[in-house]
Chain A
């Protein structure tokens, strides 16, 4: 299994490690629920160095992204701006979801998921070659110029980052959400995967352990992938491989808002999406009884059956919640039933965003 540069830090903090797509990553450091609360109420940090940063540059870098991605990079109006997008195959299925940062004239940083990085890079390189566009792709996960990524999230996250990295305060303090600043090989972005304020810090791998230790000393709680999953679920954010995959259209995974079908621009998967309109609505569920909603469970609605794609217990709401693909006629407020083992349990359909900035929305 592959280890990130922070592996020793995790072991020293008593992490329980698990195999996450071939990466040996912390699941939790004692209590997943306490880590979850730390992010909602204070500040927590995640090692996300298993995700892969890819630098893209060249005369036709923008032209390449305009054809490659379902979202439109023309929306990146100024350097530092970030855009969430899916990357589709010809049948309109999701190869991966990613964030692309606009760094400067024909220069971008793309961050893709850990377990899909190899396939993503192969796909990107093949499309570039097919289209004969001048753009170089440089993955930054391994080797001499490897980068590490630490996400610091929570209401006190930014303040604690400034305390530890005072020299970064001036540039990072004024960042609006979904914008980054770059100094040398350090990139600080006001992004995250928790529904809380915070930064994702990308830096040279050799500097990561010192930053992790300094943040921990400042009171930022190390958090594992367990808390990361319940936080993103409460925030209504999709997880690749669960809520979407190569056989699922982004329109059926609640990602219609990230797909640009308005502009004239052609991109991979556009023809397929236009030919196959949305089949499902992607909505949230709150279980009204005791139990835990899980992926793959069947949802009975009065319009037909649907399926849960992600489910767990919400530590903030103290109830079980889920993301589900439901029939198109299903709507917020509907009463539905979920099949859990041999029982039918009552659930309510809600907007798929349960908690934001520490506040329950359902």
Chain B
């Protein structure tokens, strides 16, 4: 088998390493002017070939054509305060529209004098989320914090106690509604998703069939149809005399829809846990729930956090679909604000305003998911 003259891989490695030891020292850098450095950078990154030069010129032309008009529209020529007449007279954007309507867009038809309540509730909510984003805080007290925070938010939103006037949830709207729909949807769909994922990986054929059926069915139909079902068919499902309001119906629809998608994310995590972990748990004599709760799920959920966050981002955006069943979320309020005949032409400003809000939340979350992915990458993943 062995041929005497063939080198072992180690020898090849050693020979390749050798020259770079001493002979190939990098040339000593000497000082260059800033201009030279910039020029070298541009040559390397912008003008490295004919095609690249053409592309760069095209991009520069595009910038030249779009940037100055954009700046003059959005900033220099814009109307920041005033009435619709001033806006019509001006060339640029009408931010006065946002100035005039921002309370309505942010809070919907919530009673105007009580807007501080949803604002405070939202601040607490977002503050709580921000605290929850920091991994060292993932301790038991965080659950306690939310157990306090959520009732406080609910009291602020509903009122009816402590001298706060009662506000029915028909009047909730805007950003608070969007945040409630998405965060409550996420929190409540998560346990359901874990059960569905475990069921899909179960040895018991009937349970597996039920879970696979639910997951694949929900993933096969659009959210719009689930929301339609929630708004039109839920009243038929319930016994005579029992009614649940529109917000709750939409929320249930969103929870069921999200659970199916989250279940797939969790299943990915379950599959990525090495088989030896399952076998080790069995060997220790743990029962099913002990095995899952103590050994498998802690690892699986850690692996599936990035896809879970991505799913949360997409659900946050998807809550905008409740406009179709007539809930006053952030997008609906932006659209309704435009139905004021005086402000009708300024749809770009209205949509830009809410787009920036959505974008801010989603961009932060996607960056956060990337951060988590780096932080949690501890080599557990089976490749």
A-B interaction: no
Query: Which residues on B are within 8 Å of A, measured CB to CB?
Result: none
Interface residues of A (CB under 8 A from B): none
